[in-house]
Structure 1
Amino acid sequence: MHIRRILAAVAATAALAGLGLTGVATATAATAQGAPSDVTPSQCKQGGGVADLTDNMCKGGMHDGQRVD
């Protein structure tokens, strides 16, 4: 009886771990597809950042680290 409880707990843990990994993979794929790679200088400023045209990067704000086109 004790062994059955242990096996049931192990099976349940494995099933939940599999669901968790699937959810992470789906969330990562959705994020990668929806994020634009380039922003305009005005989009950078509107998002609260500063367009650094020497590095062609948006620094700060919601577009931080994205390339300025």
Structure 2
Amino acid sequence: MTQKFTVLVEQGEDGYLISEVVELPGCHTQAKTYDELMERTKEAISLYLEVKGIPEERIKFLSLQHIEVEA
């Protein structure tokens, strides 16, 4: 059975890419390249599900917004 998850990707100060799986609290990883990050993220998801299972109450990702403010 396949499942879909929302993954947020950021670049850290050290240049590494960091992924966080929205629906799985604490499920995250990092890598130097995007392709490597996606492979590691899939592995992190598989390990998370193997150990913790799918959370009963899944966080639902609604949207990503860019907001402009005076600074």
TM-score (norm 2): 0.29
| Higher fraction of helix | 1
> Which of structures 1 and 2 has the bigger CA Rg?
1
Give the strand-richer structure, 1 or 2.
Answer: 2
